[in-house]
Structure 1
Amino acid sequence: MVLKSIKSWLTAGPNYKVRPWGLYWRSHTLFITATIAIGLFADLFLYGLVVPVLPFLLQNRIGIPIDEIQTHVSGILAAYAASCVVFSPFAGYIADRTESRRQPYLWSLVALFIATAMLYVAQTETVLVLARILQGLSAVIVWTIGLALCLETVGPKNLGTAIGSIFSFMGFASLIAPVVGGIVYEKVGYIGIFIISIAVITLDFIMRLFVIEKKIAHRYDPDIIDPLLNLQHDDETEPLLGADNKSRFLIPPDQPMIIQKIPVLYCMNNSRLATAMLVAFVQAMLLGSFDATIPTEAQSLFGYSSLEAGLLFIPLGACDLILGPIAGILTDRYGVKPVATLGYVSLAPILIALRAINTNTQDQLILYFCLLGLCGIGLAAIGAPSVVEAGDVVNKYHKANPEMFGETGPYAQLYGLNSMIYAAGLAIGPFLAGGLRDWIGYGNMNAVLGVICALTALASYVYLGGKPRWIQKLMDKRTSSQDEE
């Protein structure tokens, strides 16, 4: 009895009778957001920690021939992403059917710890692949539950700012992980990487253990506001959907069983949501391409070690770290369309300019650093719009169809789907970039990525946030002409 009371006092027990210790700060928006950021930071940090090490690990420990390293690196990186693709739908479906996000959020760390241990002891490529698959399972839960918890914590109106800040922290992980991995591997060996990984997992575990969701805290203290409950009350006095707009988001009855179980799949018919997923996919594909090709290009063109290869990620991540929160604020203020469009428009010529990097000279190295930094600016802009747009569209479907989506909505399902799309980009990116690099060279590979960014910018301009007024007017004029005929 005493132990149960202590457990409830510490962890927010199921009977809601014993007020947990530190309820206010443990359910504070800043602490919950920081916990989500740390969870996603840990995921990307442990993912990127071994990126500059993999070519040397495969060559020195496993004995892969140097001319086959690129293919094997791409395969191992893709195993992580493929795992995310497979497990994402299940994670979202289960998370929306659990009372609390906290339990699966904690259990995901078990998979992450096992994966870290396997990476440390791996003597074969098979073990490395299995470790990355487990790491992907953990990442799916962190991504799916973390983003759903973020929406439930800050509410839709502040989601862009929160996501921009969180993605900036993720960018920081992408920035320092390869650098730390390269330095530690060169100076200490793989034992150092293992120790750092365990330290990050421990910090992540402590923060996840203490967090209390807003909706749980609200049951102990009604003064602690649940943003989603607040949003439902706001609908009575400030409806966001007019009668005409609401009809566009109504889901017809008698849907197939899979739509009834996973209603967010129906929402994918919406061009705005589909484009938001495309934006996330291309962003992840770019990151996967950078992770797979920068270390190998640094090794083959500049003769870099793992440490020096890791340092090349600094200009790429530094701009993302600094500008991510600003991009989130701009997304909340001006909308998703201009931010995403400008982000992808800026990336296209910069990636094409990477064709100029083809000789081992000091000038070329400086140019490479500068171009990677400019890529970081574009990456900072394209992170928040996808998540914000997806949340906004599904929120409209939720308001129009409350009986189908339930009280809290299918937000974990949505971000599970988002995680699957993002992971598919991470999986395809290394293979696409690695294959193109081997076939047409590093510079031409980046030119292809630049064209993809240009096409994504066009799609973002046309569909994100709704069609531009001039396009809508043309469509209305064409419709009226057909009606007259």
Structure 2
Amino acid sequence: MKIPLFLDKIRSRPSTIWIASSTTALVNRLVYTLTIACIPDLLQKTMGVSRASNGIVTAAFGIGGLVAGLLTGYISDRTQNRVGPQIFASFLYMAAGVVLFFAEHFYQIVMFRLVLGFASSTADTMLFTTVADVYPPNLLGFKIAIIFVFDNVGNMLGPLLGGKIYEKMGVGGVAIIAISLGAIELIMVVIFVRNSLDIRRVQVSESPGSLESIAEQNTVSTIVSDRHNMDNQSGLRRDSNASKISIFSITQPENGTTQDAAMPGNATSKNGKSMNLLRLILQLAVAGPTVAIFVSTGMQSVIETILPLRLFDKFGYSPATIGISFLIVGGVLIVAMPAVGFVNDKIVAKYGNYMRYYAIAIGALIIFLSQIVMALAGSYAVLIFGYSLFAISSMMVIVPAQSAFGDFINASESPAMAQCYSLGWIAEGLANMSLPPIASSLYAVAGFLTMLLSMSAVLCVVCALSVLLFPICQHWKSVRQGI
């Protein structure tokens, strides 16, 4: 298909990739959250299944996300195609809507969430990958934060919209909206989205060795590798503060040789060694953020599973009223998210990429504080305050964690960007599979307070320790080498 010249110019801009990715994030979250407020009512009143089954439905979403995460990154990196998986995800959204439209039994709801998880994992892996393909580290945090702004617009509107449509039109009305959103995403991808690797190759050819050919040319990459060899490396790149260097200790290939310098983003380069998922997760720089995404998204899925039950049990709220709670929290995040991304980039530009890991650890501690507030809340206002605090602290974890993936791949100069970002969805899939069923069972047996405090205490401590392991090891290595 021949693309008009003016449209081709628009499609060739990194900002178009960013805007399209943000819009995709909005659609993804809308389709997912449309059913958050109404599924508990549908399962219990219409289908007559137990409350514990709500966790099984969430787990089905996680299973779909896990399978897609294992496949999408590998296929995209292998084929060097970022557009095809997004088109596939659009069709899957429409397919999920069709399944929901005809749903009359519990297994059909499980199937709906399974297909939806596959679609969301595919689309989200690609939207973060494409942005990381075309933006340097000291801009990446803000770009990802804005993507999450759109994500949270969907999180804000989806439950309210879905709850009201469900009350007026039943589950069929919600399904029609889901099908329509999938069609909108398909049209948007076909018209506006170009393969981000093509754009990245153009950037590299215009400005070899960096991604500075994008519109924001006053920035430079902050990534270097192997600090003790930095005086001998011709491709060394410093950040805007010459006194600060960010270090990524990258496990070398089996023969022990150092990777040759390659042009970042040239995914077909012979010099940048590709990494499979196992090799990626064995890198401390990647493992910590992956655990962080598991914890933050897992706690989010726990709250999305339990909060409607809590609001119904304690306050007797209807699905539409429960949707308003997500509307309030989404509004808080829309205001806070740009600041989170902006501050993250400023810290990275000044102190180096390793600061992302300290930021994640601080965010994990604030997550635990927010769970204490929610667990002890005696009123609706305090409960929503705690949820809002959780939402902001969760973004304080996820934004630097997602940015760290792009940092690492740029440092390693490996054509494995999509596979690295697929780890985020694999982590989220595992979290959605395991944590909501545990939470719903604990809620039924021990109550809201015990469930929330016990789960959050364990998860947040594990998160903080995991992400701190990388900078601590790097500091110890530097001390031993006398740097």
| TM superposition score category, shorter chain reference | 0.7 to 0.9
2:305 to 292, 302, 306: 292
Deviation at 1:306, TM superposition (A): 0.6
**CA separation in 2, counterparts of 1:28 and 1:232?**
13
Deviation at 1:217, TM superposition (A): 5.4
Whether 1:337 aligns to 2:346 is: no
In the TM superposition, what whole-angstrom CA distance separates every residue of 1:55-90 from its partner, at most 9, and x where no partner exists? 1111333232xxx1x211110111011111123121
Paired residue for 2:254?
Answer: 253
Deviation at 1:396, TM superposition (A): 2.2
* Letter in structure 1 aligned against 2:252: I
SS in 2 for 1:8: coil
**CA separation in 2, counterparts of 1:227 and 1:171?**
36
Whether 1:9 aligns to 2:3 is: yes
Pairwise mapping of residues 217-228 of structure 1 onto structure 2 (< 5 A)?
Answer: none
Contact 2:91 2:182 (8 Å CA) reproduced? no
Whether 1:320 aligns to 2:333 is: yes
Tell me which moved more, 370-379 or 109-118. 370-379
Deviation at 1:415, TM superposition (A): 1.1
Deviation at 1:9, TM superposition (A): 2.5
Deviation at 1:226, TM superposition (A): 7.2
Whether 1:378 aligns to 2:393 is: yes
Unaligned runs of 5+ residues in structure 2 are 214-220, 231-247, 257-272, 348-354
Contact 2:289 2:467 (8 Å CA) reproduced? no
**CA separation in 2, counterparts of 1:384 and 1:285?**
15
Deviation at 1:96, TM superposition (A): 0.6
**CA separation in 1, counterparts of 2:200 and 2:458?**
46
Paired residue for 1:268?
Answer: 281
* Residues 351/194 of structure 1: CA separation in 2 closer, same or farther (3 Å cut): same
Structure with more helix by fraction: 1
Deviation at 1:167, TM superposition (A): 1.5
* Letter in structure 1 aligned against 2:364: Y
TM-score, reference length from structure 1: 0.81
Deviation at 1:140, TM superposition (A): 2.0
Paired residue for 1:212?
Answer: 194
Contact 1:315 1:376 (8 Å CA) reproduced? no
**CA separation in 1, counterparts of 2:66 and 2:423?**
9
In the TM superposition, what whole-angstrom CA distance separates every residue of 1:294-336 from its partner, at most 9, and x where no partner exists? 1111111111111111122233322222222221122222131
Pairwise mapping of residues 439-478 of structure 1 onto structure 2 (< 5 A)?
Answer: 439-452=445-458, 454-456=460-462, 458-459=464-465, 462-463=468-469, 466-467=471-472, 472=476, 476=479
**CA separation in 1, counterparts of 2:206 and 2:24?**
22
Whether 1:189 aligns to 2:170 is: yes
In the TM superposition, what whole-angstrom CA distance separates every residue of 1:393-418 from its partner, at most 9, and x where no partner exists? 233223xxxxxx4xxx1001111122
Deviation at 1:248, TM superposition (A): 4.1
Aligned residues: 435
Whether 1:78 aligns to 2:78 is: no
* Residues 226/113 of structure 1: CA separation in 2 closer, same or farther (3 Å cut): farther
**CA separation in 2, counterparts of 1:309 and 1:347?**
22
Deviation at 1:138, TM superposition (A): 1.2
Contact 1:350 1:450 (8 Å CA) reproduced? no
Contact 1:87 1:140 (8 Å CA) reproduced? yes
Deviation at 1:453, TM superposition (A): 5.1
Whether 1:174 aligns to 2:187 is: no
Whether 1:25 aligns to 2:45 is: no
SS in 2 for 1:240: strand
Paired residue for 1:17?
Answer: none
Deviation at 1:437, TM superposition (A): 1.0
1:438 to 444, 455, 460: 444
* Residues 254/129 of structure 1: CA separation in 2 closer, same or farther (3 Å cut): farther
Deviation at 1:286, TM superposition (A): 0.9
In the TM superposition, what whole-angstrom CA distance separates every residue of 1:415-452 from its partner, at most 9, and x where no partner exists? 11221112211222311211221222101112123313
**CA separation in 2, counterparts of 1:268 and 1:350?**
29
SS in 2 for 1:348: helix
* Residues 374/185 of structure 1: CA separation in 2 closer, same or farther (3 Å cut): same
**CA separation in 2, counterparts of 1:146 and 1:238?**
22
SS in 2 for 1:101: coil
Deviation at 1:291, TM superposition (A): 1.0
* Letter in structure 1 aligned against 2:437: F
Deviation at 1:261, TM superposition (A): 7.5
Contact 1:88 1:416 (8 Å CA) reproduced? yes
* Letter in structure 2 aligned against 1:351: Q
Contact 1:340 1:460 (8 Å CA) reproduced? no
SS in 1 for 2:78: coil
TM-score, reference length from structure 2: 0.82
Pairwise mapping of residues 77-156 of structure 1 onto structure 2 (< 5 A)?
Answer: 77-156=58-137
**CA separation in 1, counterparts of 2:89 and 2:25?**
12
* Residues 216/350 of structure 1: CA separation in 2 closer, same or farther (3 Å cut): closer
**CA separation in 2, counterparts of 1:279 and 1:324?**
18
Paired residue for 1:280?
Answer: 293
SS in 2 for 1:231: coil
Paired residue for 2:263?
Answer: none
Whether 1:304 aligns to 2:325 is: no
Structure number, greater radius of gyration: 1
Contact 2:22 2:151 (8 Å CA) reproduced? yes
Paired residue for 2:224?
Answer: 240
Tell me which moved more, 109-118 or 29-38. 29-38
**CA separation in 1, counterparts of 2:464 and 2:57?**
32
Paired residue for 1:421?
Answer: 427
**CA separation in 1, counterparts of 2:30 and 2:223?**
41
Deviation at 1:250, TM superposition (A): 4.7
1:348 to 346, 365, 368: 368
Contact 1:152 1:227 (8 Å CA) reproduced? no
Paired residue for 2:412?
Answer: 397
* Letter in structure 2 aligned against 1:51: I
